[in-house]
Amino acid sequence: MKRLFIGMLMLFLALPKVIFGEDEVVNWFEAEDFRGNAAANQDSTASNGACAEGKTWYFFVGKIPFPQDGKKYNVWVRAQSDVPANWYLWKEEGKKAFGWFRTEGSGKWGWINLGKYSSLDTGKEFWPIYLQQPTNQNIPTAQGKLDTVVITDITKASRLEELFTEHVEKKSGAQAVFMDKGRLEFLTSARRIATIPFVKTPPVLDGNLDDKCWQEAEKLSDFLLVNSAGTAAEQTIGYICCDGTNLYIAAELLESQMPFLRKIRTIRNDSVWTDDCLEIFIDPGFTQKDYYQLVINPLGTQQDTLSSKLDRASSVGKETLDWEARTSLQKDRWITEVTIPWRLLDANPPQAGEIWGFNLCREERPNKELSYWNNCGSHFHQPDRFGLISFGRKPVRLEAVSFSNNNSAVSLSIKSDSVQREEVEVKASVKYEEANVFDEVKTLALESGKDTVLSFPLSFQKPGAYNLSIFVGKKEQALYRVAFPFKTYSDGLVSVAWPPEMRNDNLHLAVNTVQHCFFLLANHSREKAPVKDPELVVSVPAGIEILDPLGSTHSLYYHVKNWKSEKEKRKEGLYFRYTFSLKQEIPPVRIESRRVFSSVLLFFQVKDKPCSKSRRFFNSVLSFFQAKNKSCNAGQVLPIYYYLKAGADREEAKKFNLVLLPQVKGKQPRSILIHNWLWTLNPGPHTWAPYIETMQKVGFNALDAGGVGDNPEYIGVMRSNKMKNIGNFWYFWWNDQHLKEHPEDTAITYDGKKNTSRPLSVCPTIMLQANGRLLKESIVRYTDLVAKKLSDGYCWDLEGPNSWQICFCPRCLAEFKKFASLSGQEELTPEVIKQKYARPWILFACHQSSDYARVVREELKRINPEAEFGVYSGNPSQATMEEYRANWEEIVKYIDTAYLSYYSHIPAALDDTFTVGMQKSISLLRRSAGRNPLKVVATLTPGYERGDMIQPTAELNKVQVLRSIATGTEGVSFWWWGPFDGKYYQKLAEASTLIADFEEFFLKGKEEDKFISLENPYGKNVSSAVRSLGNLHLVLLFNHSPNEKRELAFSIPGGTAGDVGYFYPELTRFEPVGKIKVTIPPLDVITIVVGPEKEVAGLVSSLK
């Protein structure tokens, strides 16, 4: 699960007792809980399959929470070392080592009792544990492992070993629980609905479920495994109810391995989701798009995406408003109770019958189970697949609604709580716009307490957005009502325009730019046969043109073989109808599954030149649109009509609105990078130049133009628009020609076989020998472009191969022995390496990547000393090293630019991730780079592909760019271009202009945050940055809230007499004395320049 959370509010809760036996208290911590500099490595003999491993003087364990009940507990560790060695505890106060213990050096695990302590001794956390040195002073260093810390009242090591053995056996035997096949299929395909009662008495939050309200609450059960065909082995039972003030949620999280719960996080918003946890997802108003996330671990530590709400509510209300959670740990489960105020969710108390989106999800660590109440696909963050909650209890309840794959039927699961047999009417009604298109009533006899599944066949005359209403009652007396929207598509030919599809059928077009649009194509024919000679028809108003798509290069889109344009009279006036004849057939496929390469790509533009192309991502036609005369002005909303046809088959016409915006007027910074990955762009002779001109107007000064290859004319267009070509270096250990001649050099996988993944990988040692001779030969297609001055450098997208994937040939094993200083006589196999030398092997695999980067950069610099070489990968972590083969702390010594990943659609991430978190990463990389000059770039995104949750707004992208630069990056890079439209171009142009105007401040200015004194009642939801250059000071005030303005007052204690101030970009003057009040719009920034009048006047004059 990918997540991004915010906030670092300090909160420490007492560590609850974990009762395992009749009278045993066990708090069990494993390697992933440790916070030292000893690496967490895989080890099949260790608890949970991992251990902390390091050498003499390594810091193994820190920040283990200690029970705060004042009682004394035994502290046990499970450890080993390669030679007899001493270990010790460390008291930071007084810098004192104490509590020495010893491992015997047998290479076998053993239990060691460190003593008996209470919280009066330790405080909130147990002391750090270090490996000291070998007991034999003639041996220079020891290698140690430690996999478990147990705080318990158990006194015998044999009992701990019994628990450990049970843990391993239960974990290896854990499997999904299967239910009746029909019931399971219904649950996995349905939108489940919970009916939430209003209660009179709220719960007392104490981690116990003995309150009356929980007896009355709706019960949620049958939790499903993520992407599995069964229910979770470790089940969860949820409870939910409410009153006029709060929403109440509780859960019993059943657990067969209670001592092994992961429960290390004690600070609020500190990656609590990495522990065992319950995750609550709430979508007020059932938007199927916006939602809140709340997380609770077994300690009661909280995490949420509510920071802006917390700050706002606390500042405008008389009380401190927050959500509350309490937990308790039992013998075979842990329990949590939660209270969430309606006001915190920006919601009024729901009315009876109101519907919200909702889901309960669980991360269970001992058995590595991910489960949820309502099936929402491969990850939790899918609001369009959440379950539903309906407020107000009824005697008859609708529990689930399920549509067939083609929406040809809807099935309802209905249950009666009545004590007697009930006969009720069930009515299904479907509306299209405001008209009823389907009504059917069925009479149903309901047995008490039993589920009944009732199906209604559906048929629709036209595709589109519909609303389904379900009525359950007696005559006109409603016992139950529920309504929700759904979307259906026609049989036969189907097309969709994207990104308008996800933006309420609007596509924004700035009047001096080109705008692309993907037209996705599908074939819903009942004959299941391919459609030949398809044609896409797009009608645009006079004044808008579609650029000529002929001659485009990308082989994965639908190709236009010819096209024509004809005048057409419509009710709105004169239109031009474009017909694009497509080369490829359309196979039988549903539109819901179509991706970018299933499209025709077309380009629209508001300018005096045409622009054309059409489709969605990879299964689409991509179009560029252009307004060619003054009849099209900013502020207009112009309908665009389109449909797909083939012979006599024709789709009913659809439309979206082309919303015209004012001109884009960005600026290109001279040095700070504004880069865009044109991955999948379909360039053509009639579309490339207008598109590049658009990028220039936005402020981009570098592009990944890999799609144009070695076309000097296309690169020349970039050069004339002052853009660098920083391409995607998508290359690993590949050389097919070499392996044809030398198949013995094929990389060997973990199982001892030749690598068969395409393209085939060469042994890294072979590639790197002789200073990378074969590697240099392999990448000649990249270096040739640099030699021809068609490329200015590359960014290596380093995402593999996994450290354990390749290569385990004798050559690599011999190199590994040298790298790890192992005996040349020791026999190594992949299994031995994983058990004994996992950490060194991962470092070795990453070192191969680092050496690879060194060779590539040296070759590029040999050809052109100005050429740049950078790396994009996961952010610094053990997982990035193991999975992506990237050790940032080493590889930064051999690259010019580090592209760190900051993909986020959550404004709350600005509170920490783009401030303190980004500062830490920048500091780590620059410190590791040493004397190698390194640029750090924040990699952002305007969104992922169709149907993905990561879709940040244009306003958020602007603030992310400016916050990244203000925090200290030397540029931003966007992956990818597809979701951009005119609205994004407008906001990015505002950001690029500010960066270009004050570039010297960002590059050479001194951080001087104390220059201003900010009265900030909004907490982390407002941030500031000050850059001083000589006597001039640039002040940026950021509002992180997506929907609320921020009214602030500040003073300038760091100023001097005679200073003046100007607001930017208005360039209005003010006197920087006393309190200065400003109002920051939602997701925006206020910019101020302060300094001596003459210097400020000169700067302001240069900006006009």
Reported as a single tens digit per residue, the pLDDT across 786-844 is 999 999 999 999 998 999 999 999 999 999 999 999 988 889 999 899 878 888 999 99
Residues 950 and 1097 in one domain: no
Domain boundary among 997, 1012, 1033: 997
Could you read off the pLDDT of 633-643 as tens digits, one per residue?
888 999 999 99
Distances (CA, A) of 1034 to 998, 1030, 1038, 1072: 8, 11, 13, 13
pLDDT-based confidence at 307, cuts 50/70/90?
Answer: low
Q: Is residue 363 part of a domain?
A: yes
Residue 422: what pLDDT? 73
Is the confidence at residue 314, as pLDDT, over 90? no
Q: Is residue 695 part of a domain?
A: no
ω into 383 cis (within 30 of 0) = no
- Cβ neighbours of 456 (radius 10 Å): 19
Highest mean pLDDT among 253-262, 427-436, 474-483, 535-544: 535-544
Q: Which two tokens stand for residue 252?
A: 């019993």
Percent of the chain with pLDDT over 90: 60
Tell me the whole-structure pTM to 2 decimals. 0.76
pLDDT-based confidence at 165, cuts 50/70/90?
Answer: confident
Range in 5-19, 579-593, 1061-1075 the model is least confident about: 5-19
User: Which is more confident, 1100 or 17?
Assistant: 1100
Q: Is residue 832 part of a domain?
A: yes
pLDDT-based confidence at 625, cuts 50/70/90?
Answer: low
pLDDT-based confidence at 5, cuts 50/70/90?
Answer: very low
Residues 110 and 37 in one domain: yes
Could you read off the pLDDT of 930-954 as tens digits, one per residue?
999 999 999 999 998 887 767 899 9
Residue 171: what pLDDT? 56
Residue 10: what pLDDT? 27
Q: Is residue 704 part of a domain?
A: no
Q: Is residue 798 part of a domain?
A: yes
Highest mean pLDDT among 271-280, 892-901, 1012-1021: 892-901
Residues 612 and 629 in one domain: yes
Contact 110, 61 (CB under 8 A): no
Is the confidence at residue 519, as pLDDT, over 80? yes
Residues 584 and 436 in one domain: no
Can you give the CATH number for the domain in which 424 is found? 2.60.40.10
Residues 795 and 911 in one domain: yes
b (16+ CB within 10 A) / e for 610-639: bbbbbbbbbbbbbbbbbbbeeebebebebb
Residue 7: what pLDDT? 29
Residues 297 and 228 in one domain: yes
- Give the C-alpha separation, 468 to 440, whole Å: 12
Residues 830 and 887 in one domain: yes
Can you give the CATH number for the domain in which 116 is found? 2.60.120.260
Residues 359 and 234 in one domain: yes
Residues 482 and 346 in one domain: no
Residue 14: what pLDDT? 42
- Give the C-alpha separation, 443 to 458, whole Å: 18
Percent of the chain with pLDDT over 70: 92
Could you read off the pLDDT of 604-622 as tens digits, one per residue?
987 554 333 333 334 555 5
Highest mean pLDDT among 407-411, 667-671, 881-885: 667-671
Q: Is residue 513 part of a domain?
A: yes
- Give the C-alpha separation, 884 to 869, whole Å: 18
Q: Which residue has the tokens 């193991």?
A: 882
Residues 188 and 232 in one domain: yes
pLDDT-based confidence at 669, cuts 50/70/90?
Answer: very high
Is the confidence at residue 517, as pLDDT, over 70? yes
- Give the C-alpha separation, 1100 to 1069, whole Å: 10
Is the confidence at residue 1040, as pLDDT, over 70? yes
Residue 611: what pLDDT? 34
pLDDT-based confidence at 691, cuts 50/70/90?
Answer: very high
Could you read off the pLDDT of 551-607 as tens digits, one per residue?
887 777 899 999 999 999 999 999 999 999 999 999 999 998 888 878 999 999 875
pLDDT-based confidence at 80, cuts 50/70/90?
Answer: very high
Residue 176: what pLDDT? 47
Domain boundary among 370, 391, 412: 391
Could you read off the pLDDT of 440-464 as tens digits, one per residue?
899 888 777 777 888 888 877 777 8
Residues 117 and 144 in one domain: yes
Could you read off the pLDDT of 176-214 as tens digits, one per residue?
455 566 777 777 888 899 999 999 999 999 999 999 999
Q: Is residue 21 part of a domain?
A: no
User: Which is more confident, 415 or 152?
Assistant: 152
250 DSSP β-pair partners: 239, 337
Residues 363 and 415 in one domain: no
Residue 16: what pLDDT? 47
Can you give the CATH number for the domain in which 1018 is found? 2.60.40.1180
Domain boundary among 391, 406, 423: 391
Q: Which domain holds residue 1047?
A: 1003-1103
- Give the C-alpha separation, 196 to 623, whole Å: 47
Range in 444-448, 693-697, 777-781, 870-874 the model is least confident about: 444-448
Residue 286: what pLDDT? 86
HSE value, Cβ hemisphere, 13 Å, CA-based, for 322: 10
E strand intervals along 770-818: 793-797
Residue 205: what pLDDT? 95
Could you read off the pLDDT of 980-1006 as tens digits, one per residue?
999 999 999 999 999 999 999 999 999
- Count of domains observed in the chain: 6
Is the confidence at residue 236, as pLDDT, over 80? yes
Is the confidence at residue 137, as pLDDT, over 70? yes
Q: Is residue 352 part of a domain?
A: yes
